[in-house]
A and B are shown apart, each in its own frame.
Chain A
Amino acid sequence: MPSNIVLVTGVAGELGGRLLTRLGNNPDLERVIGVDTSPPREEVLRRIGHAEFVRADIRNPLIAKIISTARVDTVVHASTTCHPAGPGRRMAIKEVNVIGTMRLLAACQRSPLVRKLVVKSTAAVYGASSRSPAVFTEDSELIPASSNGYAKDAVEMEGYVRGLARRRPDITVTTARLVNLIGPDVDTVLSRYFAMPVVPTVFGYDARLQLVHSSDALAVLEQATLHDRPGVFNVGGDGVLTLSQAIRRAGRVELPVARAMMPSVSRLLRGARVVDFSSDQVRLLNFGRVVDNTRLKKVFGYIPRWTTQDAFDDYVQGRGLRPVVDGQRLAGLATAVDGWRAKL
């Protein structure tokens, strides 16, 4: 049975807002309701279509009322933030991530009309360490990198989602574990990170990064909302970039910092309100994380249109990042030397 009345949480966020405009312009849906504590961004409101925005907190019992009175049949939970871009208050984010999810799922369980739940999760649930396998599949063990970080929230949240799926087997549950999001117009921790002229890295480590373009992430969430795709899926582009490679592609200056100094650097960046550099994030820069997207392609039926490298280049161009170190020109020099040599 196709979805008809959709509730989207976290519409003030990057993906939630976009998803709301997509669904709001879909004539097959009878009603689309966006929920968040703060209104969506201006451009989202302009292109919202027939979708509505309700200012509500998912931690509030009001959410159950909205779900039952609007006769919602599909809930898209996109409000969890694992990699907040800017400095936020840790406890406040944890509240929304964990308590908000519990409340929302309780409301879903109570309402007999809810048939589908789509959850935006994160690949950070797999953690990142020297003992991790190089590539995580959906069946890999979930070992969050730190015991109190956002990734831990996500692991707890997924636990509650599994609990709901067990208690209400009639609900189709889709969990999308997204790798780090990138794109020309999204504000994520990595988009802020690579926009800095001098990029601090952990000395002696060159992490493997896998990215997903925001349009691909959005398409996955949209398809999961419109069609039935039960299961857990890793969502990431094909291919891998190393951190140093990405820095050079963006023309930034790499600043290796000793691992012991990293907490001070991240505090400094937080204090300057540049980028939120959580401990999960530092672990990611240490060891990197790559997920297997075979299940997304074969079972879910979505082929990511952007590879990691293309998505990153799109971000660099779309942002109009002016290179601090012009690798292209230096490389041109090397090629020119090669040319002269050939002539001699």
Chain B
Amino acid sequence: MTTSSSAQVIPLHRDGGGPGRGQAPRPDRDAPVVLFPGGSAGTGPAAEQDRLGRLLTFLAHRLTGDFTVDEFGFDPELTETVVLPPLRLLYDRWFRVETHGVENLPLDGGALLVCNHSGVLPLDSVMTALAVHDNHPYHRHLRMLGADLVFKTPLLGTLARKSGQTLACAPDAERLLGAGELVGVWPEGFKGVGKPFSSRYRLQRFGRGGFVSAALRTGVPIVPVSIVGAEEIYPKLGDLKPLARLLGLPYFPVTPFFPLLGPLGAVPLPTKWHIEFGEPLPTDAYDPEAHEDPMLVFNLTDQVREAIQQMLYRRLSQRRSVFKG
């Protein structure tokens, strides 16, 4: 792939040596002042004022079918106008997400973001996507890789495709990375998102390391990401396995409030979140056949997993309260 040279990570902020280690959290919105028309007109004060105008333009485009989707079905206009704003409320008001180490995200070119998964419902993935979009100077979209269950489900599957997600499989991952996109993976999968409350912040097995081979093949850096706060939004105490089997779900969670309080129990607890983007791990130094070496792939997988686990522990040791951070 051609991106190996452009995959070098250029730090955005030259101040304060290390990436967000123990220093005061950066203000969330220091990015939109940069005048780059290439970025999407998602946030920013000017756009806020003309929200109604944008909504009408959006409506006009919808009525005539005058918009473009990419080959994965990603519809940036829909994502920015309809999908992200309600999530932004959740992001700002409910979880009060703080991001650290945004400068570790490459300005352009592909990168693979590897994150810890938790929370019964994969809210952590959508919050991470929003964190990347709103904090990156160019407002890049995070293209996430999801399980096939997502794409099998009516409505959800369509929404997932339209908001830029695709099936977690090697061809799709390599295609996105080769095209220079930021790709997000949650290699723990269902094992991670559905783990019991007792094993919170303990990383599960990282799949079969397919994500590392994809990064090696395309020569893009791997950015470890730790998400703190998401693991407590639904404290999963039990699992109704027969019901899950009946509904074709990987698990059916029992939390202190669900299914006891019904739909009210499905409201996530307002924990305070921290999303930290760690230091990228370059993969372009390996020879092109490196992905054929399972030992190397396993070692890199463990290295990434270890990096995320360390970031989690560090962040947790600084946290004083689950709800206040």
Binding site for B on A (CB under 8 A): 130-135, 137, 140, 202-206, 208, 210, 239-242, 244-249, 259, 287-288, 290, 309, 327-328, 330-332, 334-335, 337-338, 341-342
Contacts and interface: CB of A to CB of B under 8 A. Distances in A.
A134 B62 contact: no
A290 B64 contact: no
Contacts of B155: 204
A338 B52 CA distance: 8
Contacts of A335: 56-57, 60
16 contacts: A130-B148, A130-B149, A130-B157, A131-B167, A133-B169, A135-B171, A140-B171, A203-B154, A204-B155, A208-B72, A241-B65, A245-B67, A248-B64, A248-B65, A328-B64, A334-B56
B60 A334 contact: yes
Given A335-B60, A337-B56, 10 more contacts: A130-B167, A134-B73, A140-B171, A204-B155, A245-B65, A248-B62, A249-B64, A259-B154, A331-B63, A334-B59
A23 B265 CA distance: 70
Contacts of A210: 71
Contacts of A205: 154, 157-158
A137 B154 contact: no
A242 B171 contact: no
Contacts of A331: 59-61, 63-64, 66
Contacts of B53: 338, 341-342
Given A131-B167, A242-B69, A338 B154 contact: no
Contacts of B63: 248, 327-328, 330-331, 334
A130 to B, nearest CB: 4
B94 interface: no
B68 interface: yes
Contacts of A342: 53
B161 interface: yes
Given A135-B172, A137-B171, A240 B56 contact: no
B152 interface: yes
Given A132-B167, A135-B171, A204 B70 contact: no
Interface of B: 52-53, 56-57, 59-73, 75, 148-149, 151-155, 157-158, 161-162, 166-167, 169, 171-172, 175
A244 B161 CA distance: 14
Contact of B172 (A133, A241, A242): A133
Nearest to A248: B65
Given A130-B152, A133-B172, A239 B68 contact: yes
Contacts of A259: 154
A131 B152 CA distance: 8
Contact of A245 (B56, B57, B69, B158): B69
B162 A130 contact: no
Nearest to B158: A206
A239 B64 CA distance: 17
A71 B155 CA distance: 57
A315 to B, nearest CB: 13
A208 B154 contact: no
Given A132-B167, A245-B69, A330-B63, A341 B52 contact: yes
B287 to A, nearest CB: 23
B69 A134 contact: no
A240 B70 contact: yes
A90 to B, nearest CB: 27
Contacts of A334: 56-57, 59-60, 63
Contacts of A287: 151
Contacts of A247: 65
Nearest to A330: B63
A130 B162 CA distance: 15
A332 B149 CA distance: 40
Contacts of A337: 56
A131 B75 CA distance: 21
A204 B151 CA distance: 11
A208 B70 CA distance: 9
The 6 A-B pairs at the shortest CB distance, nearest first, are namely A204-B154, A248-B65, A331-B60, A249-B65, A130-B152, A130-B151
Nearest to B67: A245
B69 A327 contact: no
A205 B151 CA distance: 9
Given A240-B71, A334-B56, A134 B64 contact: no
Nearest to B149: A130
A309 B70 CA distance: 12
A343 B60 CA distance: 19
Contact of A338 (B56, B64, B75, B161): B56
Nearest to B60: A331
A245 B68 CA distance: 9
Contacts of A206: 73, 158, 161-162
A91 to B, nearest CB: 32
A327 B171 contact: no
A201 to B, nearest CB: 11
Nearest to B166: A134
A244 B155 CA distance: 13
A131 B172 CA distance: 11
A143 to B, nearest CB: 13
